[in-house]
Every structure is written in structure tokens, then in C-alpha cells.
Structure 1
């Protein structure tokens, strides 16, 4: 986007621009419906239709407002969801937990192994620490970032209601690598009315070579893409189907049962399937598709009439 386009976008969306510049929590007084409508128009470039939503991103906004169940709060809590998942599919599919704390000061780094992952249980990214060598870790900075993460109420960012009342904690998990010795590949299974339809496949996360591809449930690579907004595009290769793919689909159905639309994330490591997280609003419902027809296609898969 060139300079003149940016100026034009700011002029058309002064409230959204203020929210992005000053911080979303400063605008928590704005009702959810108003806030969502403002931010949707900023990111998508068009007015939000909540009376008759048609596209994937429109329907996600509708679900934010009108589909609120207490169990969703447990399902997005990266700590409490562990018991939920263990009950549904077995604890052997959980990444080993190394510790849980209410504050950054409580963490005893001496008890942690040389490699580990620290993160807050209620947000996405803020405060996360991926440690590959504890001897090189700046513990003071890690505590500082975790404190920042604990203060964040992730709900106010995109008004994703399930995050609003998560009891905030810090968790440590085992650092995992796949059979190649590299950081994990993400398999994000998009389920619609309880059925897997697409797999959003990420490679090279947290690197300069990140890619995002969409595969169908027969592991055929599709031409669906969101590279323009994500800042990274599709890979130029088709990867082999994971050995535990059938189990991934089976478990996704179990965890997505009774939910209009949800994303179940997995890691496949040495032929073993590990649960990642549950996300109700992929990209917060603000990520454009490079082809608008794909937004409409995915939107048709969400049935709101049953709610």
C-alpha cells in the first residue's frame, strides 16, 4: 500500500486508526457490535453485514456477538483446555507441561530444562518465549515480557468473547521439534458444523521463510491464499500427507462437535499427533482472502440457522 492509499484509509477510518495507534484496551468502553463493525470496515474495506452475513469473515463477526457459550472460555484457555482435550482424546496427545504460575516472579528458571517454551494461557504471542539455550536467556527481559502478556486482555483486541474471562496464567511446555530437527509445522484444521473442510498448513513460523498453504481433506493443495494480508505467501511445493492424518481428522471432529465453526491446531511429530490449541475466529475474522470468492465459499460452509 502506497503513502496516498494509507492516508486515504486513515481519513476514512479515523476511529479504527486511533484504536490501532493508542491501543485497543483504551477503547474498551465501545460496545462489541460497534467496535467489530468499525474494525471490520478498516481491515476488509467494506461495511459489515450482520443482518444477513454471507462470507466467512462476516459470519465469524456474527458468531463473536451471538454465539457465546461458557465452555468456549475453557477451550481457548491454553492451560484448562489440556484437561478438556485429555478427557476427549487422551493425554498422550498433549505436549508435556513443565510448569504453571500466576506471575512471572514465581518462575524458578533453575528447574526448567535447557530448552522450553513459556507463554501466557489467554492470548496469542505477547509474552511468549521460545528458549533453545537457557544459558543465553535474558531472564529479566523474559519476565518483563511475560508481565506485559499477563496484563493484556486479549478479548479487547478483536472482541473475541471466549478470551474475556480466562483466568490468566503462565505455562511452560516442552520444546518440541519434528523428525527433521526443525521447528514444528502447524496443521490448523478448519471445521464447519463439526466437519473438517480445510487444513491451513504453516511452515517456517517465526522465521523469514514462513509460508501458508491450504489443503483439502483429501490432502490436495488448493489455490486458496491470504498472502497479501499475511505478508507471506504459499510455498512452491506440495508436502507429503502426514502419517497421522486420519487420526487428525478423527480427533478434529471430536473436538469440533456441535460448534458452527472452529479451528483445531495440531503438530505431527515422529508419527505422533499432538494438540496445539482451539481457535474460534481464524485471523480474528479480519484476514482478507486474495480471491474474494474464497471468502464467500468458506462462508457458505457455516450454517447459522441452527443457532
Structure 2
């Protein structure tokens, strides 16, 4: 019954109010909220006073450092990321875009190609993949965008650095059948591990769920594998088929770029895609999975080892 009511109200101002109220416990007492959620996910107490694990340090960065770091706010935003990459002399790696919208009313489907992707720039997972615009109306899209503009993702996800960025929608070309996605998880400027996303284009994805609320619409199924910097397998999703993932030919280049990006941040995940034969940085993420990372849960030894590499006191 409750789920049915939620479905009816979702996308309305009442639902936004409901979600904002749901976010109040984090706003009132973030330490208490995170302490409970951390224990629920990792099964251990969160150490706020003398954190040793990477998972603990990410939570502290999320609360105290990232929301006040202009560089993080700039780079986490999918639109101002272009400026960040230009300032790092990496503009060639930015994903091209078609339009940027400051209001839902500005959206005009008639000037867009048959295929395109819409993303909220200061959010994770608020994406709409349109593979044939004849199958959706401008009115339907505007309704969704209107909701995105009033929905404060950072407040809802408890990642306040997202809330500090400007609300925008970016429209990018839709690129078919991308290759594997390589995500370099950087800790204190060095590779912590590499996550490889392997797409299964034949299956519609239900795995790309965001905070139990949003599913990236039009997404395909994918599997996650994690490697160390020597390309030894750390951990993979349980349902991953028996596949061999070789180190990419341009691994040294990706590593070099990741290190250059990571110069500015204590922890950052650098996401690479190959688009039309060219390497692009699709996103920079500072709190992947909101800091509740399955690999760190499954491999606490990695959590401890990477935690030792990061001097969190340098950022407070």
C-alpha cells in the first residue's frame, strides 16, 4: 500500500517534500546518521576520532571537507568538469555535449538528434537515455526535468557537495555499444584499485539502481571487476560470467591521466570510456556508492591498507 502511494506521488512536489523530510536526520546529526549506516553496511563501528580504514576516512571527507572544497564542487559537476579538465590541460578528454539547460522550459526536443542522453549535472544516476525520440514526447521529458530541478540529490543521498553545485541538465550524444569502462580509484594521488565495468548490451539493466529510488532509464546490464595496479583480480560481482579481462593497451596512459587528476584531491574515482576510438573522462566521483563500497566490505584488508596511505589530517 505504501509503495503504491509512493509510486503515485513520485515526481510531484509532495514527494520532494517527503524526501526532504526523510533527509532531516542526516542534516540534524550527520555523525549519528553515518555511524548507524556505516555499522549496518560494514558490520563494524565507525571510528570518528582515530579513523584507520579508507571507508571511515571517505565518510569524514564527505561530511567535513568535500562540501567546502571549491575544486571538488567544480569537478563533481558534469558541466563544470569541462572547465576543470581545461584548467588541467585535459580538455581533449571531456565528453562532448549538445545542450545545457538551466530550466526545464528551455528543453526543445526538435533540435536534438534521434538519440541523446540527459543527465542532471549535480547528481549521480539522474539520467535519461533516449534511443529514439519518436517514442517519447517533449512534454514527458519536461515533466521529468522539472522534477530533477527541484530535487536536491545531495540532500537526499547525504552527499552535500552535490548540493553546492548549480542545478543544470546536460544533454550529451548517445554513444552505442561502448567498450569496457575503466574506473581508477585514486587514494592520495596513487592507484588504490581499478574497477572495470563490463557491459552486457543484450540485457536491460536493473543493477544500476541509485539509493533504492532511481534506476538509470534505458541502461544495460553490467558487471564489476576490481584489480590492483598490477592487474591482479581483487574481487568481482557474484553474477559475473567467466570472462577474462586483459589490461588495456593504453593502461600507462590512463594511469598517467589519473595521477594528474588526483593531484588536487585526497580520494577521487576517475571514470574512463572509449568513445569513437578516443579516451574520454566521463565523470569524477568523490564518494563512490556514497562511501559504502562493496569491495571494501568484501576485502577489509584492502580497506585497512588503503586507509594507511591517506593522511586525512592534512585536509582538516
- Greater mean alpha carbon deviation, residues 279-288 or residues 136-145: 136-145
Query: Which runs of no fewer than 5 residues in structure 1 stay unpaired?
Result: 1-21
- Greater mean alpha carbon deviation, residues 288-297 or residues 159-168: 288-297
Residue pair 1:244, 1:272 contacting (<8 A) in 2 also: no
Q: Match for residue 8 of structure 1?
A: none
**Counterparts of 2:291 and 2:55, CA distance in 1:** 5
**Counterparts of 1:45 and 1:141, CA distance in 2:** 42
Q: Match for residue 122 of structure 1?
A: 122
Q: SS state of the match for residue 210, structure 1? A: strand
**Counterparts of 1:98 and 1:302, CA distance in 2:** 38
Q: Match for residue 153 of structure 2?
A: 154
**Counterparts of 2:199 and 2:310, CA distance in 1:** 30
Residue correspondences, number? 275
Q: SS state of the match for residue 275, structure 1? A: strand
One of 19, 24, 40 as aligned partner of 1:42: 40
Q: SS state of the match for residue 95, structure 1? A: coil
Residue pair 2:178, 2:274 contacting (<8 A) in 1 also: no
Q: Match for residue 259 of structure 2?
A: 253
Does residue 188 (structure 1) correspond to residue 183 (structure 2)? The answer is: yes
Equivalent residues in 2 for 1:51-66, closer than 5 Å: 51-66=49-64
Deviation, structure 1 residue 154: 2.0
Deviation, structure 1 residue 270: 4.7
Residue pair 2:71, 2:264 contacting (<8 A) in 1 also: no
Does residue 109 (structure 1) correspond to residue 105 (structure 2)? The answer is: no
Deviations 1:237-271 (A, max 9, x none): 22233333222111111111042211111102354
Q: Match for residue 275 of structure 1?
A: 281
Deviation, structure 1 residue 91: 2.5
Judging changes above 3 Å, is the alpha-carbon distance between structure 1 residues 291 and 71 closer, same or farther for their aligned structure 2 residues?
A: closer
**Counterparts of 1:41 and 1:100, CA distance in 2:** 40
TM-score by structure 1 length? 0.81
Q: Match for residue 139 of structure 1?
A: 138
Deviation, structure 1 residue 24: 5.6
Q: SS state of the match for residue 243, structure 2? A: coil
Query: Which runs of no fewer than 5 residues in structure 2 stay unpaired?
Result: 1-17, 207-220
Judging changes above 3 Å, is the alpha-carbon distance between structure 1 residues 235 and 147 closer, same or farther for their aligned structure 2 residues?
A: farther
Q: SS state of the match for residue 257, structure 2? A: helix
One of 17, 20, 28 as aligned partner of 1:30: 28
Q: SS state of the match for residue 78, structure 2? A: coil
Q: Match for residue 17 of structure 1?
A: none
**Counterparts of 2:122 and 2:44, CA distance in 1:** 30
Deviations 1:85-140 (A, max 9, x none): 123133221221100011222111111111111111011123x1111112222433
Q: Match for residue 7 of structure 1?
A: none
Q: Match for residue 14 of structure 1?
A: none
**Counterparts of 1:265 and 1:137, CA distance in 2:** 29
TM-score by structure 2 length? 0.79
One of 225, 233, 237 as aligned partner of 1:222: 233
**Counterparts of 1:140 and 1:250, CA distance in 2:** 44
Q: SS state of the match for residue 59, structure 1? A: helix
Deviations 1:54-107 (A, max 9, x none): 222111112123324122111111111111112313322122110001122211
Judging changes above 3 Å, is the alpha-carbon distance between structure 1 residues 176 and 223 closer, same or farther for their aligned structure 2 residues?
A: same
Q: SS state of the match for residue 51, structure 2? A: coil
Judging changes above 3 Å, is the alpha-carbon distance between structure 1 residues 274 and 146 closer, same or farther for their aligned structure 2 residues?
A: same
Residue pair 1:252, 1:264 contacting (<8 A) in 2 also: yes
One of 193, 198, 219 as aligned partner of 1:203: 198
Deviation, structure 1 residue 299: 2.4
Whose strand fraction is larger, Structure 1's or Structure 2's?
A: 2
